[in-house]
């Protein structure tokens, strides 16, 4: 609308201004052909007005296109930066997931091995229980046998004591026989004396007395032998009684010991039963844990597989964004050939986002960088423009003045990040890149404010 009004006004005053020369018109057209849209053609004739309108139109289209492409480039590269961050984090997650998956597999194997040991222990405990039960029964049987032995020994001791009493009685009888034999011998002697006094009349009586004396002598001898045998028998019986008493004491002691063994065996059996129940419970728990660990390991493996697939997916996104960035960069390079207002201010915004993206590409292994090959804050596009500015509208502007420090930090931290990364210090490189992003944000805000001044 404004263009049409301008054309009408200029047409009405056409007679007031001279036409420009053909050389001036050709010069402007050649400049336009070369992409210089800041040329101007003086004159109010229709050709001059048409040329100026063409210049403004081309300038506006180019600036709009540059603005649109730069914004797309900024957004695409910011997305690429975010994707690179995400790719780096996903790779770390993937590494940890793979490590956890390997650990889970080892854990599963260990749990399976522990379950095997637990089952073996359970089986051995059951066998031990059977052995202790058998041992307890054997001890109980032994205690019963010892009771029988003790009763038998006690019975034998009683019988031996009775036999000892009987031998004592035999000894007493032998003493009586011995006394009778002595008296019989005295009587036979008296009879012999009386028979001798009687002479021939007592001769037959003397023979009888002699026989009686001989019988008394034999009785005395036999009694003496019986007495000796009884004494020997009593001595042996005393030894037997003593030995039997000792045996009885030993049997009683053995009985107590066996009884104590029986008590301990019962205690052991009870403890073995308790251990067996606990071990069986542990075995059941281990079986459940083995099944659970198998499920966990399977789940972790699925997660590890998913993270690997996610890494691959993000890598494809990063690769796609790289291709988009190359297309946009090629388009920006073409647009940079045109001479339009705020060209450097616009293009520098894209440059800084691409700078961040290159650093993140380095981190994820998409690009190799050397700090010595990187531009500093004087040799980059923005630095060259900044150092060459002579226009007072910029030189007196506080935003322009404040641009230099964050711009310098962007390059300094970026180079430092490259050096740290190349030396193997990933954490240090990421910290420096974070500083680059902070400084770059300040640069972008300043450049955005400088547009249109």
**Encoding tokens for residue 39?**
């040329």
280: CATH: 1.10.287.950
The residue that leads in pLDDT, 16 or 237, is 237
- The confidence score (pLDDT) of residue 201 equals 67
Q: Note whether residue 373 is domain-resident.
A: no
User: Taking phi first (over 0 means left), then psi (-120 to 50 degrees means alpha), and beta for anything else, what does residue 36 get?
Assistant: beta
| Residue-range definition of the domain harbouring residue 181 | 105-301
7 — pLDDT class (breaks 50, 70, 90) = very low
Q: Note whether residue 47 is domain-resident.
A: no
Rounded to whole angstroms, the Cα distance separating 406 from 341 reads 24
Q: Note whether residue 240 is domain-resident.
A: yes
Rounded to whole angstroms, the Cα distance separating 245 from 250 reads 8
Judge whether residue 26 has pLDDT over 80. Answer: yes
Q: What does each C-alpha distance from 280 to 33, 119, 134, 283, 284 come to in angstroms? A: 93, 8, 20, 5, 6
The residue that leads in pLDDT, 360 or 420, is 420
The count of structural domains within the chain is: 1
Q: Note whether residue 199 is domain-resident.
A: yes
Judge whether residue 420 has pLDDT over 50. Answer: yes
417 — pLDDT class (breaks 50, 70, 90) = very high
Rounded to whole angstroms, the Cα distance separating 128 from 385 reads 92
Q: What pLDDT, in 10s, does the model give residues 262-315?
A: 787 778 778 777 777 877 787 777 777 778 777 777 777 777 787 777 778 877
Judge whether residue 405 has pLDDT over 90. Answer: yes
User: Taking phi first (over 0 means left), then psi (-120 to 50 degrees means alpha), and beta for anything else, what does residue 19 get?
Assistant: beta
The residue that leads in pLDDT, 241 or 7, is 241
- SS3 state at 36: strand
412 — pLDDT class (breaks 50, 70, 90) = very high
Report the candidate in 135, 110, 128 with the shortest Cα–Cα distance to residue 279. Answer: 128
Give bridge partners of residue 36 from the DSSP assignment. 339
Q: Note whether residue 401 is domain-resident.
A: no
**What is the 8-class DSSP label of residue 20?**
P
Q: What does each C-alpha distance from 114 to 107, 122, 216, 271 come to in angstroms? A: 10, 12, 97, 23
Q: What pLDDT, in 10s, does the model give residues 183-198?
A: 777 777 777 777 777 7
Q: Note whether residue 123 is domain-resident.
A: yes
- The confidence score (pLDDT) of residue 76 equals 77
Q: What pLDDT, in 10s, does the model give residues 32-49?
A: 888 888 888 888 888 888
Judge whether residue 60 has pLDDT over 60. Answer: yes
Q: Note whether residue 120 is domain-resident.
A: yes
Q: Note whether residue 408 is domain-resident.
A: no
Q: Kindly report the number of other CB atoms within 10 A of residue 447's CB atom.
A: 23
- The confidence score (pLDDT) of residue 13 equals 47
- The confidence score (pLDDT) of residue 93 equals 78
**Encoding tokens for residue 236?**
């042996």
Judge whether residue 411 has pLDDT over 90. Answer: yes
Question: Using alpha carbons only, how large is the chain's radius of gyration in Å?
Answer: 65
Q: What pLDDT, in 10s, does the model give residues 81-136?
A: 777 777 777 777 778 778 877 877 787 787 777 778 777 877 877 787 787 778 77
Rounded to whole angstroms, the Cα distance separating 449 from 442 reads 11
Rounded to whole angstroms, the Cα distance separating 19 from 28 reads 14
């Amino acid at each position: 609308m404004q263009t049409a009004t301008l054309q009408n006004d200029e047409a009405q005053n056409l007679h007031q201004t001279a036409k420009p020369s053909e050389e001036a018109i050709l010069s402007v057209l050649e400049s336009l052909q070369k992409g210089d849209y800041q040329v101007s053609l003086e004159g109010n004739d229709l050709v001059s007005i048409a040329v100026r309108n063409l210049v403004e139109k081309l300038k506006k289209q180019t600036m709009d296109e540059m603005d649109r492409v730069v914004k797309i480039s900024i957004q695409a590269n910011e997305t690429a930066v975010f994707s690179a961050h995400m790719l780096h984090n996903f790779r770390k997650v993937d590494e940890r997931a793979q490590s956890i998956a390997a650990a889970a597999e080892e854990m599963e194997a260990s749990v399976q091995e522990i379950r095997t040991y637990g089952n073996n222990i359970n089986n051995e405990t059951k066998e031990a229980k059977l052995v202790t039960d058998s041992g307890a029964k054997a001890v109980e049987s032994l205690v019963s046998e010892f009771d029988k032995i003790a009763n038998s020994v006690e019975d034998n001791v009683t019988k031996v004591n009775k036999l000892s009493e009987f031998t004592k009685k035999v000894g007493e009888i032998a003493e009586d026989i011995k006394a009778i034999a002595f008296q019989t011998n005295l009587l036979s002697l008296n009879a012999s004396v009386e028979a001798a006094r009687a002479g021939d009349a007592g001769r037959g009586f003397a023979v009888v007395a002699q026989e009686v004396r001989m019988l008394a002598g034999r009785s005395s001898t036999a009694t003496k032998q019986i007495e000796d045998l009884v004494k020997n028998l009593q001595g042996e019986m005393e030894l037997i009684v003593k030995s039997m008493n000792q045996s009885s004491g030993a049997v009683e002691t053995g009985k107590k010991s066996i009884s104590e063994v029986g008590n301990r065996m019962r205690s052991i059996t009870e403890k073995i039963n308790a251990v067996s129940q606990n071990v069986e419970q542990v075995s059941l728990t281990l079986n459940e844990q083995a099944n659970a660990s198998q499920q966990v390991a399977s789940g972790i493996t699925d997660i590890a597989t998913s993270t690997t697939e996610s890494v691959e997916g993000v890598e494809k996104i990063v690769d796609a964004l790289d291709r988009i960035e190359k297309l946009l960069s090629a388009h920006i390079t073409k647009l940079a050939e045109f001479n339009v207002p705020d060209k450097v201010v616009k293009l520098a915004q894209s440059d800084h986002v691409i700078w961040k993206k290159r650093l993140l590409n380095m981190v994820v292994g998409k690009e190799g960088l050397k700090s010595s090959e990187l531009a500093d804050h004087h040799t980059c596009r923005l630095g060259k423009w900044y150092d060459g500015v002579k226009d007072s509208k910029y030189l007196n502007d506080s935003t322009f003045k404040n641009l230099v420090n964050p711009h310098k930090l962007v390059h300094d931290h970026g180079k430092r990040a490259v050096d740290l990364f190349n030396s193997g210090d990933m954490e240090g490189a990421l910290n420096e890149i974070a500083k680059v992003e902070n400084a770059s944000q300040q640069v972008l805000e300043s450049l955005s404010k400088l547009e249109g001044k």
